[in-house]
Amino acid sequence: MTTPITMTKTAIATAITETVRIIYCYSYQRISSKKQLRGTGITRQLESSAAVCEEKGWTLDTTFRLTDIGKSAFHGRHLDDKAALGGFLKAVDDGLIKRPAVLLVESLDRLSRENIMDALELFIRILNTGISIYTTIDRITYNREDIKSNFGPLIISITILCRAHEESLIKSERTKKSWHYAAERLKAGGIGRSNIYPHWIDISSGKPLIIEKEANIIRSVFDLCIDENMSYAQITQHLVAKHGNKYRISPAGLKKLFTKKRVLGIYERNYEDIKSYPAIIEEARFYAAQAAIKNRIKRSNGRKTSSCLNFFKSLLKCGCCNAAVVISGSNSIYQSFRCNGRYRYKNCENKLTLSVKKFQPILIKAVACIDKDDLLASASNRKKLTLTKALNAKEAELEDKQTKIGNLAALVEAGSTTGVQRVVALESEINDLQQEMLSIQDQLDMMNSPILEASLDHINSFHQRFQLDKVSSEDQRPFIDAVSTTIEMIVINPSPEKGQLAIVNIRLLSGIELRLVVFKTYAALLYRGSKCLLRIEPRE
């Protein structure tokens, strides 16, 4: 005779809690140099983390982007506040990390390659915050409570961290010795590695010789800077006009040319200057160029124009891959908006580049044309009605599921495991419903808030100051806050039409979508539906 299964209310509650308990995972990836981006290191680590979460039913939280590229774990640079892991640890200290939490790493050597005392201190620091560490290669979970009762995993961790430090130490020593021998060879007049020689030096004969044609072009660059007082942009234009695109030098390349000592025949490494090949510029001429650049900066007061700032940060999205559209380039003249998926991760086909100085004023003008009386009022009412209906539907669905749980109470009391499983599933569905309802209510609150009208006033005021070139970096945050209460997203797509650069969809929180057609001349047309609201001329 089968004995019926009986469960107390406490046991049922415990079972439900344990079953629906969400474990949040934070995946940390690190590679030691930017050159390793050409490989599959980051992708491999990401895929391993995703597979582990799917297998164990954990929730991968991507709120924090935990990828460190070119951050040395041997020197501890990945623990700086600006690094991913350092920023994560700060967020832990500030209470911003959801619990219970697991930090996923490929191996413990991703966390640290420092000496064992520092590495172990970091390892224990993470565990003492209540966050577990899971390594995807050996599938070991390190947990504070488990280690208190069984120190076996701690011994394993110490062994792995010791080995990681030893490997990095040996590699570091070999690199130092290799550099020492190379430096001695250079000092003795020998030939070093080919990558230390600039393009105006030829080493094919076994000794460094100047290629005069190439050297003369570099000398002319110094003449243009010192004697003609040309800016980086003017120098580049002059070179292209005279020698063609082959000799186009970027602002970053020019800055390096004027500040590094390669033109003096000096190879700089680890704060050591080694005379390695003939100089093509006199030392006095080299420092005269630096003085000319500093004087030019002083005359401009070092002012950074507002066009160098991304006033639509976090709102711009690529229409091809949904990645963020970011500003690239270090010089304001050449800065451009690009898809970060293509620019950084090389995983998007969107080749579109938009000049920040030309495109951003168009966007500011477009959002300043939003009419709070006509454009938002009717749309807001429709959006409010849609949101209210959605909220009512969710409330009805919630009430139905709560009723079902009540009906299952007798079945659970009788000890039915099927009943318990059904209650657990309903509890999970209710939790999801409540989160959706909170999101809808937040949107309704925003639509009914007087902040919306104030935000539009702020946008218009900002536009007026921008037109007068009176906008500074201090205006950026208030403007971003204002547009974030008005605009949901700005999606940028390359245009297939001849003569056009981009099609930009500006999605307002009210439900309205504006369309901006940007031409190659950086003139633009702003549409609502098929109606053209405005023609925007290129800014001088």
pLDDT given at position 317: 92
pLDDT given at position 256: 86
More confidently predicted of 56 and 454? 56
Please state the rounded mean pLDDT for residues 87-92. Answer: 82
Residue 337 dihedral angles phi and psi, to the nearest 5°? -85, 130
Confidence of residue 18 (pLDDT cuts 50, 70, 90): very low
Q: Position of tokens 């700005």?
A: 490
CA distances (Å), 438 to each of 74, 339, 354, 366, 445, in order?
45, 32, 38, 31, 10
Average pLDDT of the chain, as a whole number: 78
Q: What is the dihedral of CA 325, 331, 334, 336, to 10 degrees?
A: 10
Confidence of residue 64 (pLDDT cuts 50, 70, 90): low
Which of 506, 456, 465 shows the shortest CA–CA distance to 483? 456
Q: Which residues pair with 532 in a beta bridge?
A: 527
Q: Give the DSSP per-residue string, 163-229.
A: HHHHHHHHHHHHHHHHHHHHHHHHHTT----GGGS-TTEE-TTSS-EE-HHHHHHHHHHHHHHHTS-
Kindly state the helix (H) or strand (E) to which residue 515 belongs, with its residue range.
strand 513-519
Pure H helices in 300-374: 340-343, 356-368
Confidence of residue 535 (pLDDT cuts 50, 70, 90): very high
Model pLDDT for residues 435-455, shown as the tens digit of each residue: 788 777 766 665 554 455 666
pLDDT over 60 (residue 380)? no
Alpha-carbon gap, residue 254 to 233, rounded angstroms: 10
pLDDT given at position 109: 83
pLDDT over 60 (residue 5)? no
Bond preceding residue 494 cis, omega within 30 of 0: no
pLDDT given at position 298: 52
Model pLDDT for residues 469-528, shown as the tens digit of each residue: 777 666 666 777 777 777 888 999 999 899 999 999 998 876 778 899 999 999 999 998
Which of 64, 61, 63 shows the shortest CA–CA distance to 88? 64
> pTM score, two decimals?
0.37
